Amino acid sequence: MQRNSNHTTIVTIEKVIDETPTVRTLYFSDHIMSNVLPGQFAMVWIPGINELPMSVMISKESGKAAFTVRKHGLASTGLFNIQTGDKIGIRGPYGNAFDIKEGRLLLVGGGTGLVPMMRLLTHVKPTDDVTVLIGAKSKDEVFFETLANELLKNNSHNVIVSTDDGSYGEKGFVTDAAEKLVSTSHFDGVYTCGPEKMMYKIVQSAHSRGIFVQASLERMMKCGIGICGSCCVGEDLACKDGTIFDGNHLSKNKEFGYSHRNKAGILEDY
Amino acid sequence: MQRNSNHTTIVTIEKVIDETPTVRTLYFSDHIMSNVLPGQFAMVWIPGINELPMSVMISKESGKAAFTVRKHGLASTGLFNIQTGDKIGIRGPYGNAFDIKEGRLLLVGGGTGLVPMMRLLTHVKPTDDVTVLIGAKSKDEVFFETLANELLKNNSHNVIVSTDDGSYGEKGFVTDAAEKLVSTSHFDGVYTCGPEKMMYKIVQSAHSRGIFVQASLERMMKCGIGICGSCCVGEDLACKDGTIFDGNHLSKNKEFGYSHRNKAGILEDY
Amino acid sequence: MEPSLATSIGKIQLNKPAMLASGILGISLDVFNRLYRSGAGAVVTKSLSSEPWEGYPNPTIFSVNGGGWMNAVGLSNPGATNFAKMIESNQNVPIMVSLVGSIPKDFEMMINEFKNCKVTAFELNLSCPHVAKVGLEVGDDPELVKKIVTTVKNSTDVPVIAKVGLGTTHYLNTVKIAIDSGIDAITAINTVRAMAIDVETQRPILSNKFGGLSGTPIKPIALRCVYEIASKYNVPIIGCGGISTWEDAIEFFLAGASAIQLGSAIGDNWINVFDDINKGILQYMKKKNYSTIGEMVGLAKKF
Amino acid sequence: MEPSLATSIGKIQLNKPAMLASGILGISLDVFNRLYRSGAGAVVTKSLSSEPWEGYPNPTIFSVNGGGWMNAVGLSNPGATNFAKMIESNQNVPIMVSLVGSIPKDFEMMINEFKNCKVTAFELNLSCPHVAKVGLEVGDDPELVKKIVTTVKNSTDVPVIAKVGLGTTHYLNTVKIAIDSGIDAITAINTVRAMAIDVETQRPILSNKFGGLSGTPIKPIALRCVYEIASKYNVPIIGCGGISTWEDAIEFFLAGASAIQLGSAIGDNWINVFDDINKGILQYMKKKNYSTIGEMVGLAKKF
Ligand SMILES: Cc1cc2nc3c(=O)[nH]c(=O)nc-3n(C[C@H](O)[C@H](O)[C@H](O)COP(=O)(O)OP(=O)(O)OC[C@H]3O[C@@H](n4cnc5c(N)ncnc54)[C@H](O)[C@@H]3O)c2cc1C
Ligand SMILES: Cc1cc2nc3c(=O)[nH]c(=O)nc-3n(C[C@H](O)[C@H](O)[C@H](O)COP(=O)(O)OP(=O)(O)OC[C@H]3O[C@@H](n4cnc5c(N)ncnc54)[C@H](O)[C@@H]3O)c2cc1C
Ligand SMILES: Cc1cc2nc3c(=O)[nH]c(=O)nc-3n(C[C@H](O)[C@H](O)[C@H](O)COP(=O)(O)O)c2cc1C
Ligand SMILES: Cc1cc2nc3c(=O)[nH]c(=O)nc-3n(C[C@H](O)[C@H](O)[C@H](O)COP(=O)(O)O)c2cc1C
Ligand code: FES
Ligand code: FES
């Protein structure tokens, strides 16, 4: 029987890797999740605790996938604390995928927003010239730098880390680094995922110069399939119309970059 | 969307032909019903009146099918009275099909039991030698004789009518005619449909001589799909395991030829 | 150790936990034997009344767009007397005799008819949603339920089960009254009152207009009823409603059912469904290291 | 003459008969506009309470094996005050505001919040099956229904609809009380209380354990409720429950509904479902030679 993507499948965590003191990657076997498109997410059930939307992280082993989670509130901490051998439920994949251009690409990721970026890197062509910008507050929050370099070893590439406090890589905001890049050289496509204020600036930098840009939006998600409405961004439903939108569309959306809805559905400013 | 055979489809009666004063054939267009296997039946809804099992009659026009109904109780009279332009509902086809042998075939039909026989005739090979025995009480109850001859025009064939009162064709019971035939010449397959007492004798005549024989059983049917149990014959469900059974199987069934269940499910003798 | 499929519903012992639900294929001893050989742990008869009933004219059953079945056979049955004669010769098959009636005396009389039969249990149908004066109309009347259960319990030593469903009064009240009146077990649930209209002819499809919805659509509803009963009362439960796979069966065990019944699944998968479910349950038990069904019963209640 | 999709539910006039059901995509005016453009005749808001509610933790919604959805979002909503501000600017979209509460005063207060908004109707949610103290717990209490409907009717000139469902008391009683207290229309039905258990982890899937079943599985149940109400009372009805095709819509009209709502179908077919249904209804009307929806309403009752 074919799997219905809306039914929760139980998987067992096979390996847990600490990326930073507050970020972990949990690996499991699942053929469907191992092959999702870059940008797609899953709804992840932590039994007895909650269910959260999570970008599907890549695994080097075929037939496997992972989630990279930052410990935050109750739910994400519950997932963070999952150990090898524990079971979680997954449904999906949900959402659309990045429209990957050819040529000179710029990827800008912050925190766990790097997860879809890593899968995007597995889809670039060998002829592409790829720049990855990784933003973090400080040195101990940097992760996936080695992975990015490894994934791009056959490409002309550049992985740049910038930390707000300068404790590692370039000092300064990743948005400034991005602005500098797009203002000085040509790009065929810019992709970003991370804090919305960051994405907003990246989209502005690129879109104002006519560069194709896509951002993956995060919103409160309950259903993941376009029923509950909790993920709305203006008239868009992030889970169903997105999560990936391009610069053209985002520049017309009055909520992007400014406000989002909380668990009760009240519009709050970022 | 593919049609679910268990959902009722509404069709419009396009033509009504009187076969005898009490038997009529109602034609309609339906691709699926036009192509059922010989022996299969439909559940026929006469809106506001009842739903009855009916063998699916052939039509010479492609994409069309028919029901040939004898006016009897309330339900069959309701169907009998349906006119051109009226709508009925159909679901199915249900039931198994005759296993058509090659060579010398004998078909014995009584009354509307001739319906599946006519469809069987459309499935014989040109090389088959086919004898059709039509039984009726008297001359004005004979029908499908011309049709049988027509369907067999490319075969070596013989259509014999016998009436109980001798008012047409041979005089006597069709079961005696059949007994005479199987006792004097070889047959590769015998097929029968009609009153159960008749079928019982035909099956005995053939089976006792080691001739392959199949009969199509009639029982009270409510669901047609093996849920309600009303059609049981011993441990068999006529609608699901049959309606066609072979001599081997029938000779072990203690109800065949002797008893059937009424609408309340009470076993009654024939 | 190989896990065992045996289960007990209070005093009732079955070798296998999946039974044939009432009204499905349930009018002939030969068919009961066949189903038993196919892996059914027991068979429940069609609901029997004190007199034979022809039931409603057809259409009485049809398959619902989007899954499940709807029926209003109108409790057609040969009557308790005829039926008892038919199963007198039974030795092998665990038969549960389902009964419908309007007053305590109906039930008393019918039970008496079965005194020479090997009967595993009586199941009182307090929940048929489409026949006047019996079924739900009885189940919806607390005083009547009390009288019927009390009378029946006084008439027989055979275990007595009450089958409940969604009626016009709360089924949990019916359960409570049945328990207080001495019932041995509860079957939950019967079909759910429903209807369908043919848009072409613009009339209700069933001759009775209303019928009972069964099969997959009602599974989540049946499961919550079993869980609610199990959470509230200490009574053996037989789960029924939309069960068609071994996973469904396990869900009902976890919710608190000691055994299950199924009907509609036969319309979809024919009688192999019993064997398929038995095999699936065994595999699950091996994987989870259970040796008896009982170990699973009600495990989901702790959450 | 080209048939018209316009319909009236008592005093309420809609250009198109298919509305968005409460709780589905219903928290943003921008989305309402989009749905209206997609062919919805009106949108019903999420049920609003006097204070904002976060609702239950996830999982709150999942798709049921065999069709339909189960949810226990726990009536998460921004509260009537916040919500009223959000739709103050609305001019185009016929919005029906759904309200939940435990006491008459809750409703009175909330209705007052909307005095500056263009509201087509208020829909009182007397039937949410999974939140304590509101919804069905209100609908199941005849005295409270009477008080709430009376209070609400005295607080506003906007038409008021009562949304009913299958609770622990008979929904037809709730309908009768609501009518006697002056209600303008009835929406039937809400989701049906249900549950699902994950066999691997052996726990209920929804964080709230119980939830409401919606979508195709409940259509035959909803249809019979509409038919029962229409047969018994002379009140405008909005049909809701499992509607996903134009045939479903027609079935509800024939049963007695003047308009319909749908929610789950959006999960299966996205928002094009409104346009698909509208087109199908129009085609049917042409074929059957109707010029208004009203001509079809209740036609199946004569059988
Ligand atoms: C498409 C998508 C992909 C995501 N991918 C990842 C990822 O790969 N790794 C990762 O660590 N995080 C990811 N997140 C964020 C994650 O879902 C949680 O929002 C975050 O972990 C905080 O959750 P919490 O419940 O622990 O926080 P809480 O303290 O409970 O809530 C804090 C805030 O988190 C957000 N939040 C809480 N619950 C949800 C929810 N159900 N849906 C969306 N937002 C919620 C809300 O903004 C809330 O105000 C993703 C979110 C989305 C929408
Ligand atoms: C597989 C099958 C194919 C059939 N094909 C034809 C056919 O092509 N032409 C034809 O004229 N008749 C056919 N019949 C018989 C037909 O279904 C009716 O039994 C018959 O028309 C008498 O019905 P009635 O309701 O008018 O009679 P009633 O007076 O109501 O009943 C008389 C007897 O008819 C039988 N009967 C009534 N209802 C049913 C039912 N739902 N299912 C089975 N038997 C019933 C019972 O034996 C009953 O005692 C077929 C029956 C079966 C089972
Ligand atoms: C055709 C049919 C006839 C039924 N007859 C009865 C009956 O006589 N007595 C009874 O208690 N339940 C009867 N039921 C209800 C079933 O026993 C069962 O409770 C219901 O169908 C739900 O189970 P399912 O989903 O596995 O079919 C009948 C159901 C069907 C489909
Ligand atoms: C996710 C979800 C949330 C719902 N929230 C509400 C609500 O807030 N108020 C309400 O009256 N009904 C609510 N309902 C019930 C729907 O309005 C509707 O009555 C039910 O889903 C049946 O219709 P459907 O089968 O078309 O979905 C909700 C349903 C779903 C699926
Ligand atoms: S998460 Fe429910 S609509 Fe997007
Ligand atoms: S007609 Fe119902 S089982 Fe055969």
- The verdict on the CB of residue C290 being under 6 Å from ligand 3 is no
| CA dist C187 → C215, C252, C267 (Å) | 16, 12, 21
D66–C65 CB contact, under 8 Å: no
Nearest ligand to the CA of B195 is 2
Q: Identify the pLDDT of residue B66.
A: 98
Judging contacts by C-beta atoms under 8 Å, the chain D residues touching residue C192 are 221
D31–A265 CB contact, under 8 Å: no
Judging contacts by C-beta atoms under 8 Å, the chain D residues touching residue C195 are 220, 223-224, 227, 255
Neighbours of B97 (CB within 10 A): 19
For residue A224, the ligand 5 atom closest to its alpha carbon is: 1
- Residues recorded for chain D: 303
CA of C7 to the centre of ligand 4 (A): 39
- Residues recorded for chain B: 270
Local structure of residue C299 (DSSP, 8 states): G
In angstroms, rounded to a whole number, what is the distance separating the alpha carbons of residues D32 and C70?
37
Name the 3-class secondary structure at A239: helix
Q: Identify the pLDDT of residue D205.
A: 95
What is the percent of chain B with per-residue pLDDT over 70, rounded to a whole number?
Answer: 99
Full DSSP string of C135-176? THHHHT-HHHHHHHHHHHHHH-SS-EEEEE---SS-HHHHHH
Q: Identify the pLDDT of residue B2.
A: 66
The residue to which tokens 């909005």 are assigned: D238
The answer to whether the Cα torsion of D204, D206, D209, D215 is positive or negative is negative
Quote the minimal CA–CA distance from A128 to chain D in Å: 36
Residues 6+ away with beta carbon under 8 Å from D215: D64, D67, D68, D69, D242, D244, D264, D265, D267, D268
Token pair recorded at residue A43: 């709804």
The answer to whether the Cα torsion of C46, C48, C54, C55 is positive or negative is negative
Quote the minimal CA–CA distance from D56 to chain C in Å: 15
The residue to which tokens 């087109």 are assigned: D279
- The verdict on the CB of residue B196 being under 6 Å from ligand 2 is no
Chains contacting D (3+ CB pairs below 8 angstroms): A, C
- The verdict on the CB of residue C264 being under 6 Å from ligand 3 is yes
| CA dist B11 → B65, B84, C59, C63, D197 (Å) | 11, 11, 16, 18, 43
Asked if C79 and C132 touch (Cβ cutoff 8 Å), the reply is: no
The residue to which tokens 């051109």 are assigned: B84
B265–C46 CB contact, under 8 Å: yes
For residue B240, the ligand 6 atom closest to its alpha carbon is: 4
Quote the minimal CA–CA distance from A31 to chain D in Å: 19
Average pLDDT over residues C64-70: 90
Q: Which of C117, C128, C225, C240 is catalytic?
A: C128
What residue of B is the nearest CA neighbor of C79? B264
What residue of D is the nearest CA neighbor of C208? D303
Residues of D marked active site are found at 128
Q: Which helix (H) or strand (E) element contains residue C61?
A: strand C61-63
- Between A36-50, C135-149, D105-119, the lowest mean confidence (pLDDT) is in C135-149
Q: Identify the pLDDT of residue A195.
A: 95
Domain spans, chain A: 9-94, 104-269
Residue B108 has pLDDT above 80, yes or no: yes
D194–C224 CB contact, under 8 Å: yes
- pTM: predicted TM-score of the whole model, two decimal places: 0.96
What residue of D is the nearest CA neighbor of A86? D201
Residues 6+ away with beta carbon under 8 Å from A66: A25, A26, A27, A28, A56, A57, A58, A59
Pocket of ligand 6 (CB under 6 A): B 221-224, 226-231, 237, 239-240
Average pLDDT, whole number, for chain C? 95
**Residue type for position D105:** K
Q: Architecture of domain C7-57+73-195+214-302 in CATH?
A: Alpha-Beta Barrel (3.20)
Q: Identify the pLDDT of residue C138.
A: 81
In angstroms, rounded to a whole number, what is the distance separating the alpha carbons of residues A53 and A30?
17
In angstroms, rounded to a whole number, what is the distance separating the alpha carbons of residues D28 and D86?
8
Q: A104-269 has which fold? A: Rossmann fold (3.40.50)
- Of D52, D73, D44, D92, the closest CA to residue A268 belongs to D52
What is the rounded radius of gyration, in angstroms, for the C-alpha atoms of chain A?
18
| Beta strand D259-262 pairing with D18-20 | parallel
For residue D25, the ligand 5 atom closest to its alpha carbon is: 3
In angstroms, rounded to a whole number, what is the distance separating the alpha carbons of residues D278 and D296?
15
- Closest-CA residue, ligand 3 atom 7, reads C23
B230–C27 CB contact, under 8 Å: yes
Token pair recorded at residue A268: 């709050």
Whether A49 has its CB under 8 Å from any CB of chain D: the answer is yes
Q: Identify the pLDDT of residue D277.
A: 98
Average pLDDT, whole number, for chain D? 95
CA of C169 to the centre of ligand 3 (A): 20
Chains contacting A (3+ CB pairs below 8 angstroms): D
Task: List the single residue in B75, B226, B234 with the smallest CB-CB distance to C266.
Answer: B226
Residue C197: strand pairing partners: C204
Average pLDDT over residues C267-273: 92
| Beta strand C18-20 pairing with D7-9 | unpaired
In angstroms, rounded to a whole number, what is the distance separating the alpha carbons of residues C218 and C21?
14
Residue B1 has pLDDT above 70, yes or no: no
CA of B119 to the centre of ligand 6 (A): 23
In angstroms, rounded to a whole number, what is the distance separating the alpha carbons of residues B168 and B141?
10
**Residue type for position A215:** A
Residue C166 has pLDDT above 60, yes or no: yes
Neighbours of C233 (CB within 10 A): 16
Task: List the single residue in D64, D204, D221 with the smallest CB-CB distance to C192.
Answer: D221
- Beta-sheet strands, E only, within chain A: 9-20, 23-29, 41-46, 50-55, 64-70, 87-94, 104-110, 129-136, 156-163, 170-171, 189-193, 213-216, 232-233, 236-237, 244-246, 259-261, 267-269
> Which residue blocks in chain C are alpha helix, DSSP H?
29-37, 80-87, 104-113, 136-139, 142-155, 171-180, 219-232, 246-255, 264-269, 272-288
C–D interface: beta-carbon pairs under 8 A: 124
Asked if A172 and A136 touch (Cβ cutoff 8 Å), the reply is: no
Whether B99 has its CB under 8 Å from any CB of chain C: the answer is no
D27–A87 CB contact, under 8 Å: no
Q: What is the pLDDT along chain A (270 residues), one digit of tens a residue?
A: 567 888 899 999 999 999 999 999 999 999 999 999 999 999 999 999 999 999 999 999 999 999 999 999 999 999 999 999 999 999 999 999 999 999 999 999 999 999 999 999 999 999 999 999 999 999 999 999 999 999 999 999 999 999 999 999 999 999 999 999 999 999 999 999 999 999 999 999 999 999 999 999 999 999 999 999 999 999 999 999 999 999 999 999 999 999 999 999 999 998
Nearest ligand to the CA of D59 is 1
- Residues recorded for chain C: 303
Q: Identify the pLDDT of residue A163.
A: 95
Asked if B19 and B67 touch (Cβ cutoff 8 Å), the reply is: no
Q: Identify the pLDDT of residue A35.
A: 95
Residues 6+ away with beta carbon under 8 Å from C239: C188, C222, C223, C226, C252, C253, C255, C257, C259, C260, C261
Full DSSP string of chain D? ------EEETTEEESSSEEEPTTSSTT-HHHHHHHHHTT-SEEEPPPB-SS-B--PPSP-EEEPTTS-EEE-----B--HHHHHHHHTT--SS-EEEEE--SSHHHHHHHHHHTTTS--SEEEEE---TTSTTSTHHHHT-HHHHHHHHHHHHHH-SS-EEEEE---SS-HHHHHHHHHHTT-SEEEE---EEEE-EETTTTEESSTTSEEEEESGGGHHHHHHHHHHHHHH----EEEESS--SHHHHHHHHHHT-SEEEESHHHHHHTTHHHHHHHHHHHHHHHHHT-SSGGGTTTGGGG-
Token pair recorded at residue D79: 């509260």
Catalytic residue check, C240:
no
- The verdict on the CB of residue A218 being under 6 Å from ligand 1 is yes
Tally the C-alpha atoms within 13 A of residue D82's C-alpha that lie toward its C-beta. Answer: 20
What residue of A is the nearest CA neighbor of D269? A226
Q: Which helix (H) or strand (E) element contains residue C211?
A: strand C210-214
**Residue type for position B205:** S
Judging contacts by C-beta atoms under 8 Å, the chain A residues touching residue D34 are 235
Domain spans, chain C: 7-57+73-195+214-302
- A216, A228, A241, A245: which to mutate for ligand 5, most atoms within 8 A of CB? A228
- Closest-CA residue, ligand 3 atom 4, reads C23
D201–A222 CB contact, under 8 Å: no
Interface test with A, best of D45, D51, D62 (most A CBs within 10 A): D62
Asked if C173 and C26 touch (Cβ cutoff 8 Å), the reply is: no
In angstroms, rounded to a whole number, what is the distance separating the alpha carbons of residues C150 and C127?
18
Average pLDDT over residues C109-122: 96
In angstroms, rounded to a whole number, what is the distance separating the alpha carbons of residues B52 and B45?
7
D303–C203 CB contact, under 8 Å: yes
**Angle at the Cα of D21 from the Cα atoms of C216 and C241, rounded to 5 degrees:** 15
- The verdict on the CB of residue C216 being under 6 Å from ligand 3 is no
What is the percent of chain D with per-residue pLDDT over 70, rounded to a whole number?
Answer: 100
Whether C172 has its CB under 8 Å from any CB of chain B: the answer is no
Q: Which helix (H) or strand (E) element contains residue B53?
A: strand B50-55
Chains B and A lie in contact, requiring 3 or more CB pairs less than 8 Å apart? no
- Give D18-52 pLDDT, tens digit per residue: 999 999 997 899 999 999 999 999 999 999 999 99
C54–B230 CB contact, under 8 Å: no
CA dihedral of D46, D52, D58, D59, whole degrees rounded to 10: -30
Name the 3-class secondary structure at B12: strand
User: What burial class does residue B256 get, using C-beta atoms within 10 Å of its C-beta: 0-12 exposed, 13-18 middle, 19+ buried?
Assistant: buried
Q: A9-94 has which fold? A: Elongation Factor Tu (Ef-tu); domain 3 (2.40.30)
What residue of A is the nearest CA neighbor of D37? A235
- The verdict on the CB of residue A115 being under 6 Å from ligand 1 is yes
Q: Identify the pLDDT of residue A160.
A: 95
Token pair recorded at residue B183: 């006792």
- Give D214-256 pLDDT, tens digit per residue: 999 999 999 999 999 999 999 999 999 999 999 999 999 999 9
Annotate A252-262 with b (16+ C-beta within 10 A) or e (fewer).
Answer: ebebbbeebbe
**Residue type for position C259:** A
